[in-house]
Chain A
Amino acid sequence: MNNYQQDSSIEDKKSYPSIRLDIFSNWWKIISILLVLYSIIAGLLIKVPAQPILHETIRNLFFHVPMWFSMMTILFVSLWHSIKFLRNSNVSSDIMASQAASTGMLVGALGLITGSIWAKYTWGAWWVADTKLNGAAITMLIYLAYFILRGSIDDMEKRARIAAVYNIFAYIMLIVFLMILPRMSDSLHPGNGGNPGFNAYDLDRNMRFVFYPAVIGWILLTVWIFTLKVRLEKITQKILKNE
């Protein structure tokens, strides 16, 4: 059933984009840089509503929340390629699934760090035992176990297949942890357990003008990092194959 087909794109030289900057095919990369730069500059400069306790830390919205949006997007890409691998047994899908998961871990770690710094200045602690925070931490553990699982199988085809099956489980647990459980119990996190999210304030109209571009910019940047990692991995595999 699962004949392990060597992906033609590894062999095919044309599939690598040329080094010179091609404005027409790389327009989204330029947009991502512009949007992220805009969100950093405007995010630190615009006038934000003065709220008790939050004060200036409300600006963390522009840096912390886009990380989780990016993580959900890139982990969905990983899930998508895992399902694709189970259907077509193409090595390229496996490389994409694993690299998307590792990019997801990168932005997830940034999300944990930005959240932790924010928590220190508003809640007074780096970490609190909260449903949403613990859920995020366990999600990271589930995905780190994914890499351990990949590392402990030698045969490439078997590794790709079993990792794909585990990845589908992992994404379901991610949905349960980050979407369902925090909505069911009390949470300190803004937007959960009766705490107002940023859209609860009328004053925040101009925060939206920074927040949405920041989300789009960071998602595009994450996808860019992902495509670079995929290219690097494909070249590594090709070198290993030629050795």
Chain B
Amino acid sequence: MAIPLFLILVGYAAGVLLPLCFPARPRIQNLIAHGLAAVATMGGIYLGMVGLLAPEPLAMSVPSTLPLLTFAVRLDALSSLFLLMISFVGLAASIYAVGYVTELYGRISIGLLGSLYNAFLLSMTLVVLADNGFFFLIAWELMSLFSYFLVVTEHEKSDVRYAGLFYLIMTHIGTAFVILTFLLLFQGSGSFSFDAFRNLGHPLPDNMRTMAFVLALVGFGTKAGIVPLHVWLPYAHPAAPSHISALMSGVMIKTAIYALLRVYFDFFGGHFPWWWGFVVLLIGAVSALLGVMYALMEHDLKSLLAYHSVENIGIILLGIGAGMIFHSYDLDELAALGLIGGLYHTINHAVFKALLFFGAGSLLYATHTRNMEEYGGLLRRMPWTGGCFLIGAVSIAALPPTNGFVSEWLVFQSLFLSYQMPSLLMKFMLPLAAAMLALTGVLALTCFAKAFGISFLALPRSSHARHAEEVPWPMRVGMGGLSAVCIALGLAPMLVVPFLDHVSTSLIGRSIADKMLALDGWALAPVNVEFSSLSSPVLGFLLVATAALGLALVACYGGTSPRRYSKTWACGLNLTSRMEYSATGFVQPIKRVFSTIYQPTVKLETEFLEESRYFAKRRRFEFHIEPLFQAYFYDPLIAFVSGLADRMRIVQAGSLHLYLAYIFVTLVVLLMVAL
């Protein structure tokens, strides 16, 4: 382990330093930074595979001069899985970035961007490897800071600066909670090493454990983007350059999932009451549904994808929450199923979300706008980007035979198998969560039908879209590779499930891989093959076979005449892009049906002709939806805090004498207390 790890660290370190050595040579900086990152991520993929295949965790540590801090790393199954995911998406992003950053030449320093990019990847790698609380916190903080610097890459724009500030504040609130969690664990163990944390799970008094649960959920939940702590995602993800957005959305928020699993299953050893799992499940269901609902109303493609991250974190938490509930009732086989579903979705989401952000980045590269209403007809102009984006859209909409479908299917099964639980409440609540997942699934389908249909189909809606050109080949390779993985993960779950089972076995000590792989691995079964089974390779084969049947029928029944091309009938007028359905129009029925959640406000201004009130000269239509949490939670909170700060200002008069008096009074009070 030592040698590959050393090489990875050297690779990233070189990636941080070398690009800065070639000032004003953007081409060289670009190649060096992303080339080194690619090499280091390949090392990460290798190390992740080694860790996943190793029967025992690999560990090593380097002492430091500071007390409590050791640079301890440990590669167990859970770390390996996340390391593999980070490195794989990192590799794709590095290839993609070679093409993508060419657009930024001359506008910003590519050397700095590349250097920060490597530092960001390195910090994420360290987060999942760290085996010491102090070391973890340092890596966690570095990850937050480097991602902040990357978010504000285009800091000359005021909305980017605002997004960055918003992200910085939110992520630090989260970090504060994470620190509190670790301090609580430290109080129980007397050491910051993860080994000490592992052994304290039970002796800690109940109220302390509950507190640690809540603190960890809020702290890591902020990073993961659970509702109602999700507000920073739709600001920060669109502001960053697209390959960074892909890493943040696909991978960085998953480190929070990693940390939650680490704390709940590893540190607490899986000893927790049922309601912990229920809280996680509930948050998952609400995040999934609200995430997709806000995504539907979004017409900035990258914000839309950011909201979908909230949704998918929700789906992951549905699986993990179900697993936690099962585990607390000692139904360990079903708990393993829930965890495997959640972990599978974690990986899948990393792949297809990175792919979709690459797609959005390509559109931005080609059209210089993120507004979907200005796209249109791009499939013809950008066939590669379009095809890859379509595969990503089908995957995220969880349609067979792609990867999103398989993992969502597993989460569904774990929710359905709740009928084996002793509690009637759980028996009823988990299927209800499944219904919410079903609604989420279809709404995601609608949202991506919108995203793809409005962006890539029909007529171009602006001159940007009319003159768009296909992106350079490194970007296509990045997207194409991820598309292939989306399909492979969907068609060959039998190759993935044993690894995930290895991870869940390391967490709860029960392996179910042999029960999940029915019929020599051709079908997946959730523990019990009688209850349900799924064979995605067979479904894939059937889809191809029946499509071929359709072609054969056409050939058979004389459908040989060549197609005739003609204009779309537009009631006698020439079809223009202004007649097309817009993204806003497309989701109008949904906005109306779910108006309780959206609370839309519509403003319609009409200017009439002077001669007659029956003829309009100009119309202006505006609609807004009320972001509930911002309006009813964050805005009052911010108002309260700044109000408090205003009142505190009386103390800060700016007079030196006053400050000296404060110091004096404090000293006297301290002395009095001490004596």
Tell whether A pairs with B: no
- B-side residues, CB < 8 A to A, are none
Residues in chain A within 8 A of chain B (CB atoms): none
